[in-house]
Chains A and B, each alone.
Chain A
Amino acid sequence: MSLPRPPKKNPILRTRAPTTPPGGRSRVALGLTTAAALGRLELQVCRDCGTVQYPPREACHACLSERLRWTAQDGAGELIADTVLTHSNDLYFRERLPWRLGMVRLDAGPSVVAHVHGDVGDAPARVRVGARLDRAGQAVLVAFPEQETKDMADDRQLREMTCDPQYRKVLVTDGKTPTGQAVVRALVDAGADLVWVGHAEPWKQYAGFDAIAGLHAVTPVPLDLTDSRAVSSLAAQIGGKVDIVVNTAEHHRTFGIGDRRGLDAARAEMDINYFGLLRLAQDFGPALKARAADGDTGACAWVNVLSVYALANFPAHGTFSASKAAAYSLAQCLRAEMRASGVRVVNVFPGPVDDEWNQLVPPPKLAPSALASAIVKALRDGVEDVFPGEVAQDWLARWRDDPKALERELSL
């Protein structure tokens, strides 16, 4: 059932304080979270006897082998029992009752307890189990209808785990770049209620900005992430209304150490890519956290457009890579500080975007519109780490396999 537009907030009622579901996990169970952060369902598979295992354990429950590998699953299975929780002593769930749970026997073998989507019929029913991150940032299993249903994303329980921009108010920090403009358009198309679009140095005219600024849902706001006072002043004006921050502001030059004397280019990259994020997080973070349980469209997400070069330095864009690595590290800090509120920090790691600063990087390059779609999809799917495009996927695979090998390959 499609979500009706939520009513305006009654300003004299207290804003509900954020709570999160139980967040403790053993280290081995975090393997499920690692995959869910990327939008994948992975379970342990024994390399000796082939058993698919759940819940995660240190050893195979069938043969006691420790040779277990997290392996992607399609999640197909049957809902064999379901129930609707009407009572809970957990602070998070008792505010969100009733809550539907069920037991699914996966075709791959194990039976799992899952949150059950409202469009799934009564047990027994065929389902597809997926992994999602809950408001505590931990992986949970969700049983979806086997076939896509209309407005599936609007399910009340599912929305607790996602950050759909529909009806939400979003700040895009830089609307002057092709990426920023594509993100604004994608958010407007996704039904965002209002999109504030930052623009620095207003005297510099960039193609496309006026068209963005003219969109019905868009309000341009002066914002320069290098200017602490400007960031504070904007936060004072709109910080209490922003539900999603998408930080698209970026400074990108194409130098290593030896081919550019001095610090000015590197410092400008750090000033926007790293310190800019810090300024933004200090000024917009607190209000966002405080409004994390503010109704159906409360504050829910913070998106950082990083770079796959944050994982391993791309020497041709060496100082840019370093600034993105710094931003990535800070984004991890932000994620940790946001976790208690349930506001999700989404880190996006694109490969080279098809823009002017990647002019000399050979294809394939990621279209700004593809990057924007990936951001909206990540918000809708509740994903935390996004590697859009084939270059980013390739780097991710190589980095996870052997970071040292990737470093050597990039130093050619």
Chain B
Amino acid sequence: MSQDTLAAFANALATGSIRVVDLTQTLSPAFPQITLPPEFGQCWPFRIEEVSHYDERGPGWYWNNFSCGEHTGTHFDAPIHWVSGRHLPNNAVDTIPVEHFIGPACVIDCSKEAAADADFLLTVPFVEAWEARHGRIPPRAWVLMRTDWSKRTDPVAYQNFDATGQHTPGPDADVVRFLVEQRDVIGFGTEAIGTDAGQGYHLRPPYPCHSIMHGAGRYGLQCLANLDQLPPTGAVIFAAPLKIEQGSGSPLRVLAMVSER
């Protein structure tokens, strides 16, 4: 990359010919967290406690302490998160090569299908049909599944539980295998609480996106927002997790850069 390219990039940002889109949900105590059966260990929700507010606890300053899990809010999944990826090299957020945190994104619009069926599963034919319109997914790209799920601002609708569990869209096992083996993607991103569907436990293997993606050293992004503001191809994603020693993931700010036509 020449200095000219970076200068042109900076200029494009300054002049607005590159638009920056925030793909991140706000970290708030009201945002739901992943829910496992109560006998399992639980991921902490986001919580925040005031340290001082220009008051007797700190007269000139305002600040907070917060707590959350590695998988709270909009967050990144590292391969070490899943048992299938536990022995891979550089599999934790502190050791993943940093250049993996910036890459192109292909956005597959499943919003109509997800609106009609909360349990919608992305399949290989669906991806092939998308490629027929937008071209082949390039190697080392993020594939982002747009479902408009992030527009469900009511936590009840976002989580969408009933007596049989959670109902949110995600990929089926074959398409995850296809994306890893045939398209060499760098990772898979979704708008719902997990990269796998709400009923993903019942697929083979259970939670295929976690199992296969992480088993192959690929990454996950979930609880993304504003995917409807991205073109099907051409956006570049900046998604750098916190550098947590041997961290399995982390909340992060996900930004997309989009060329204005």
> In the docked arrangement, what's the CA distance between A226 and B162, Å?
24
Main secondary structure of the interface of A (DSSP, over half): loop
Which one of B32, B49, B162 contacts A201 once the chains associate, using CB atoms below 8 Å?
B32
Is B159 an interface position by the 8 A CB rule? yes
Which one of A203, A224, A228, A230 contacts B161 once the chains associate, using CB atoms below 8 Å?
A203
- Chain B nearest CB from A285 CB (Å) reads 17
Given contacts A204-B35, A205-B161, contact A228 B47 (CB under 8 A): yes
Whether the pair A227, B161 counts as a contact (CB closer than 8 A) is: no
Given contacts A224-B29, A230-B29, A264-B41, contact A203 B48 (CB under 8 A): no
Whether the pair A202, B155 counts as a contact (CB closer than 8 A) is: yes
Given contacts A204-B161, A228-B47, contact A268 B42 (CB under 8 A): yes
> In the docked arrangement, what's the CA distance between A265 and B29, Å?
19
> In the docked arrangement, what's the CA distance between A228 and B28, Å?
12
Residue numbers in A under 8 Å from B160 (CB-CB) = 203
Is B245 an interface position by the 8 A CB rule? no
Is A67 an interface position by the 8 A CB rule? no
- Chain A nearest CB from B52 CB (Å) reads 14
Which one of B29, B159, B163 contacts A203 once the chains associate, using CB atoms below 8 Å?
B159
Whether the pair A227, B29 counts as a contact (CB closer than 8 A) is: yes
Residue numbers in A under 8 Å from B163 (CB-CB) = 205
- Chain B nearest CB from A56 CB (Å) reads 44
- Chain A nearest CB from B163 CB (Å) reads 8
> In the docked arrangement, what's the CA distance between A201 and B45, Å?
10
Query: How large, as a class, is the contact surface on chain A?
Result: 10 to 19
Is B156 an interface position by the 8 A CB rule? yes
> In the docked arrangement, what's the CA distance between A265 and B161, Å?
23
Whether the pair A228, B50 counts as a contact (CB closer than 8 A) is: yes
Interface residues in B18-56 (C-beta closer than 8 Å to A) = 29-30, 32, 35, 41-42, 45, 47-50
> In the docked arrangement, what's the CA distance between A345 and B42, Å?
33
Residue numbers in A under 8 Å from B32 (CB-CB) = 201, 203
Whether the pair B155, A229 counts as a contact (CB closer than 8 A) is: no
Residue numbers in A under 8 Å from B35 (CB-CB) = 201, 203-204
Mark contacts of B206-228 with chain A using CB atoms, 8 A cut-off: 1 yes-contact digit, 0 otherwise.
00000000000000000000000
Residue numbers in B under 8 Å from A264 (CB-CB) = 41-42
- Chain B nearest CB from A57 CB (Å) reads 47
Residue numbers in A under 8 Å from B161 (CB-CB) = 203-205
Interface centre among A229, A262, A265 (most CB of B within 10 A): A229
- Chain B nearest CB from A252 CB (Å) reads 10
Residue numbers in B under 8 Å from A229 (CB-CB) = 29, 48
> In the docked arrangement, what's the CA distance between A203 and B48, Å?
21
> In the docked arrangement, what's the CA distance between A224 and B30, Å?
10
Whether the pair B49, A202 counts as a contact (CB closer than 8 A) is: no
Is B120 an interface position by the 8 A CB rule? no
- Chain B nearest CB from A2 CB (Å) reads 43
Interface residues in B191-243 (C-beta closer than 8 Å to A) = none
- Chain B nearest CB from A220 CB (Å) reads 13
Is B158 an interface position by the 8 A CB rule? yes
> In the docked arrangement, what's the CA distance between A224 and B44, Å?
13
Interface residues in A261-289 (C-beta closer than 8 Å to B) = 262, 264-265, 268
Residue numbers in A under 8 Å from B50 (CB-CB) = 228
Residue numbers in B under 8 Å from A201 (CB-CB) = 32, 35
> In the docked arrangement, what's the CA distance between A264 and B69, Å?
11
> In the docked arrangement, what's the CA distance between A268 and B42, Å?
9
Whether the pair B155, A228 counts as a contact (CB closer than 8 A) is: no
Residue numbers in B under 8 Å from A262 (CB-CB) = 41
> In the docked arrangement, what's the CA distance between A250 and B47, Å?
18
- Chain B nearest CB from A266 CB (Å) reads 12
Residue numbers in B under 8 Å from A203 (CB-CB) = 32, 35, 155-156, 158-161
> In the docked arrangement, what's the CA distance between A47 and B139, Å?
92
> In the docked arrangement, what's the CA distance between A268 and B45, Å?
11
> In the docked arrangement, what's the CA distance between A230 and B163, Å?
27
> In the docked arrangement, what's the CA distance between A227 and B45, Å?
9
Known contacts A203-B159, A227-B47, A264-B42; 12 further A-B pairs (Cβ under 8 A): A203-B35, A203-B155, A203-B161, A204-B161, A205-B162, A227-B45, A228-B48, A228-B50, A229-B29, A230-B30, A262-B41, A264-B41
Q: Give me the 9 closest cross-chain CB pairs, A-B, nearest first.
A: A203-B159, A227-B29, A203-B156, A264-B41, A202-B156, A203-B155, A228-B49, A203-B161, A229-B29
User: Footprint of B on A, CB under 8 Å?
Assistant: 201-205, 224, 226-230, 262, 264-265, 268
Q: Can you spell out 10 A-B residue pairs with CB atoms less than 8 angstroms apart?
A: A201-B32, A202-B155, A203-B156, A203-B160, A227-B29, A227-B30, A227-B47, A262-B41, A265-B41, A268-B42
